[in-house]
């Protein structure tokens, strides 16, 4: 495989975009977008396609193992192991390891966007080996917030803020916020603290009899679905809208709320927070360094935080703080345009090519 790669590309150090005027050929870890593809990936791909200096390929295993490209850009590399059958997953594991060998031998620069602080824990030993190999091969890191940019690592780090969703959701009609309405929107998973939100909301029954809580999204388990349905049966103020949300349904759920609450147990980079802000709805989130920085960035009154465990008092304060928001008010997302993100990524690719892998 490596001999074939050399035959197609010639000198491993040649053909990496150094030729003046030729776009940098970038192989990302995502393929052609599907209807269920993360909007972040779709918008990033569009931003890169719009850059004259980028020739963005689409991932296939054939291209990865035998194609021509100058830079690899990885997002959630563990997703490359996904398969419907055990046999296919095993084949992908070995293909991934073979790919890391090619990248090492040809000294192909690897750019890694750090979406999560840690590697996933639910991977096999072979998959973990592949992910550790990627860590060693990484030439440059892209982080999505200013806080992570301050962390010192062995490779250079560039901060390219997660872009907004304003253009993405623009085609869908918005709704007027219902006074006193609280919403959780997105995949309902245990780490997102939905059960804690339901318990905290129960505490508001005396002081907030007119409040409502909507849980909108697809549960990851029947146990979570039952917990939400049970809360709705006990408290008429709780509304369950369980199931997949397309973009129009998500816009309806978010914009109908006075405040969106996202009580994740471990929150770092959150597309859901930016989705709510892009739809001009304030959010209540855990007090973390990343969320405090976001609050400073977007302006007062948009990112509200709470300490430790979420309580009914936190919900009541959030509703009171967002009740008199001026009509037409919008958070400041001017640093999060996708055109700027495209240019910043191109700069990272060119810098990675200039350094090579050490």
Instruction: Classify residue 83 by its DSSP letter.
Output: -
Tell which residue, 344, 347, 337, 349, has the closest CA to residue 43. 337
DSSP-assigned beta bridge partners for residue 24: 54
Cα radius of gyration (the chain): 22
Q: For position 150, what pLDDT does the model report?
A: 85
Angle at 181 between CA 176 and CA 185, to 5 degrees: 90
Q: Where are the domains of the chain?
A: 2-163+337-355, 167-334
Phi and psi based region of residue 10 (left: phi greater than 0; alpha: psi -120 to 50; beta: remaining): left
Q: Cβ neighbours of residue 309 under 8 Å, at least 6 residues apart?
A: 196, 200
Give residue for tokens 């979420």.
310
Provide the pLDDT for residue 267: 86
94 vs 114: CA distance, rounded Å: 23
Q: What is the C-alpha to C-alpha distance for residues 293 and 297, in angstroms, rounded to an integer?
A: 6
What is the distance between the alpha carbons of residues 159 and 47, in angstroms, rounded to a whole number? Answer: 16
3-state secondary structure at position 31: coil
| CATH for the stretch 167-334 | 3.40.50.2000
Q: What is the DSSP letter of 82?
A: -
Look up the CATH architecture of domain 2-163+337-355: 3-Layer(aba) Sandwich (3.40)
- pLDDT for res 11: 41
pLDDT per residue, tens digit, the chain (358 aa), is 334 444 344 444 444 544 556 899 999 999 998 888 899 999 999 999 999 999 999 999 999 999 999 999 999 999 998 888 889 999 999 999 999 999 999 999 999 999 987 766 667 888 888 889 999 999 999 999 989 888 888 899 999 999 999 999 999 999 999 999 999 999 999 999 999 999 999 999 999 999 999 999 999 999 999 999 999 999 999 999 999 999 999 999 999 999 999 999 888 888 999 999 999 999 999 999 999 999 999 999 999 999 999 999 999 999 999 999 888 899 999 999 999 999 999 999 999 998 754 4
Sheet holding 71-74, edge to edge: 54-56, 24-28, 71-74, 110-114, 138-143, 157-159
Question: According to the model, what pLDDT value does residue 1 have?
Answer: 36
Element (H, E) at 324: none
What pLDDT digit, counting tens, does each position of 185-225 carry? Answer: 999 999 999 999 999 999 999 999 999 999 999 999 999 99
Q: For 220-286, give the DSSP string.
A: SSHHHHHHHHHHHHH-TTEEEEES---HHHHHHHHHT-SEEE---SS-SS-HHHHHHHHTT--EEEE
- Which tokens sit at 239? 């509304």
pLDDT of 15: 46
Same fold, 2-163+337-355 and 167-334: yes
């Amino acid at each position: 495989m490596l001999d074939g790669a050399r035959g197609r590309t010639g000198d491993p150090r040649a053909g990496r975009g150094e030729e003046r005027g030729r776009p940098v050929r970038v192989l990302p870890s995502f393929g052609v977008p599907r209807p269920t593809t993360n909007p972040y990936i779709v918008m990033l791909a569009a931003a890169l396609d719009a850059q004259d200096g980028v020739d963005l390929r689409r991932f296939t295993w054939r291209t990865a193992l035998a194609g021509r490209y100058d830079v690899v850009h990885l997002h959630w590399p563990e997703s490359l192991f996904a398969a419907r059958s055990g046999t296919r997953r095993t084949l992908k594991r070995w293909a991934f390891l073979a790919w890391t060998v090619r990248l090492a031998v040809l000294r192909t620069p690897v750019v890694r966007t750090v979406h999560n602080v840690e590697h996933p824990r639910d991977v096999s030993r072979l998959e973990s080996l592949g992910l550790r190999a990627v860590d060693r091969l990484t030439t440059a890191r892209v982080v999505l917030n200013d806080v992570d940019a301050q962390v010192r690592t062995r490779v250079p780090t560039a901060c390219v803020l997660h872009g907004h969703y304003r253009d993405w959701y623009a085609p869908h009609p918005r709704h007027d916020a219902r006074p006193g309405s609280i919403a959780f929107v997105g995949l309902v998973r245990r780490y997102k603290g939905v059960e804690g939100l339901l318990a905290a909301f129960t505490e508001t029954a005396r002081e907030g009899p007119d409040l409502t809580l909507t849980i909108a999204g697809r549960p990851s388990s029947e146990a979570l679905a039952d917990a939400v349905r049970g809360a709705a049966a006990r408290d008429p103020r709780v509304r369950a809208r369980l199931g997949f949300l397309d973009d129009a349904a998500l816009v309806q759920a978010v914009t109908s709320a006075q405040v969106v609450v996202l009580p994740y147990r471990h929150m770092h980079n959150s597309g859901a927070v930016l989705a709510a802000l892009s739809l001009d709805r304030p959010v209540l989130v855990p007090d973390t360094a990343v969320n405090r920085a976001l609050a400073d960035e977007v302006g007062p009154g948009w990112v509200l935080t709470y300490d430790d465990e979420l309580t009914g008092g936190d919900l009541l304060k959030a509703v009171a703080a967002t009740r008199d928001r001026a009509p037409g008010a919008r958070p400041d997302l001017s640093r999060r345009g996708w055109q700027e993100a495209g240019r910043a990524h191109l700069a990272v690719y060119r810098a990675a090519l200039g350094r090579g892998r050490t």
